[in-house]
Amino acid sequence: MQIPVRTALMPLSQAFESLLMAVECPLPAEGVCTLDSDGRVLAHDVVSALHVPPQDNSAMDGYAVRCVDVSEPGAVLSVTQRIAAGSCGRIVEPFTAARIFTGAPVPPGADAVVMQEDCRVVNDCEGGVRIQTVPRTGQYIRRAGEDVARGQLVLHVGQRLGPAEMGLAASVGMHTLQVARRPRVALFSTGDELVMPGAVAPQDMPPGAIYNSNRFFLAAFLRRAGCEVTDQGIVPDRLDATISALQLAAQTHDVILTSGGVSVGEEDHIKPAVQTLGALDLWQIAIKPGKPFAYGRVGDSHFLGLPGNPVSSFVTFLLLVRPFLLRLQGVTDVAMKTVAARADFAWPRADKRQEFLRVRRNANGGLDLFPNQSSGVLTSAVWGDGLVDNPPGGVIVPGDVVQFVSFAELFA
C-alpha cells in the first residue's frame, strides 16, 4: 500500500501508524521445535488438550491423610503406603496415612497433605506417624487443572515467545509450534568516511575517517528482533553504487535496512536511489534525534532508511524499525511502553520536535540526564538505561514527572 507523502515533518505517532499499516499481512508460518522457539512469534493459537496438572498432586513432601482422622494435634496414624512422583497410590483407609512426595498424585480418600516438618515418626509403633497439626481440607494439594484447564487457550496468535511461554507450551504437550518465518533483512551502510574496525589501525586512520559503529548495533538489534541478517557492508557515496546495492538486496530479502545517506546533502543518495527503483513514502519525522528517517518500497521489499549519526540510528531503530519488524512477524502489541518517573534534572531548551533524552535511574528513584545529548555521542546509550519521551515544546524542571522508556523493554 502507499503511505501518503508529506512535505512537512510527520509526527512520530503518525509515522508509527503509517509503518504498521504498510504491513498488509504477516510473514508465512513455519513449524519449529518448541525447544528452538525462543523469540519467535506464534502464527496459530495454542489450546490445551489436557489439564495441567493432570490430577490432584502433592505440593509438599509429607503425608496424605483424611482430615476426619486428625481432629486434634498428636493423632497417630498407620503408614500403609509410599507414593513417589510418577506412581499412583491406593485408597487411604480410615486412620491410615500415605507417605507422599512432591508432585505425586494424591491417593483416593485423602483430602489433605501434612508436610513432613509437622509430622513425627512413632518409634514404638511400627509404620506409625504422629500428626502434630490439624490439617485443613485441601491443604498442600495442587488441584487438577488449576494451572491450565482442558480446552483453555494458553498462548495466542501474535504472541512473542520467551522462556516462560516455551515452558507453558511444553506443559500442554506441544513438541512443535507454528510460528512466523523470520524476516530476511539486508543491512548496509553508506558513506565514504566509514571504515571497518580491523581494516585500519586507529593510529593509521586517514583524516575524516570513522569506524562504522552503526553496523554492529544494528545487526545485533535485528537478530534480537528475530531476523535473519545479510550484511552487505559499506556502500560508496555514489548514486550508481547505491542503486546496485538496493537492487541486489531486493532480490531475496523482505526488508532492506540502511544507515546514512538519507539527509539532504549532495552526497546523500538513498532518497533518489529508492525513488528510481520504487517509491519513498515517508521521509523525515518530527523527532530529535532521528529526523532523517525514511520508509519506502524497492520491488517487493520494504525499505527502511536510518540516519547516519549513531544515536539517531540507535533511537529510530528502537522507536520505529523494531515495532515494524515485530508486526511483520504478526506481533499484535508493538506499542512503546512508558512509565512515569521523576526527573532529577533540568531541560530548559524546548524544541518543536518530540525529543528522546538519554537518562538513567539513580539510587533515589529519579532520573539523571547524560550531559551531552548530541546525536553523535554513543556513550550516552551505554551510560543510560532508557529514554525520556519529551513532547514537542516541553521543558523539564527537577521534580517534574516525565515519561520513561526502558532500554530493557526495547532490547528484548
Local structure of residue 48 (DSSP, 8 states): -
* Res 23: pLDDT: 96
How many CA atoms, within 13 angstroms, populate the side-chain half-sphere of residue 114? 27
By CB atoms closer than 10 A (0-12, 13-18, 19+), residue 324 is buried
pLDDT confidence of residue 169: 98
pLDDT at position 283: 87
Confidence at residue 126, expressed as pLDDT on a 0 to 100 scale: 63
The C-alpha cell 538486496 sits at: 249
Q: How much is the pLDDT for 59?
A: 97
Write out residues in the chain with pLDDT < 50, as ranges. Answer: 1-6
CA distances from 217 to 48, 224, 389, 411 (A): 39, 10, 22, 11
Q: What's the pLDDT score for residue 124?
A: 60
pLDDT for 262 equals: 74
Domains plus CATH for the chain? Answer: 12-27+182-328 (3.40.980.10), 30-52+146-180 (3.90.105.10), 57-142 (2.170.190.11), 339-411 (2.40.340.10)
- Distance, CA of 221 to CA of 202 (rounded, Å): 26
So what's the pLDDT on residue 263?
64
What pLDDT does 127 receive? 82
Residue found under cell 487411604: 92
3-class secondary structure, 284: coil
What is the model's pLDDT at position 285?
95
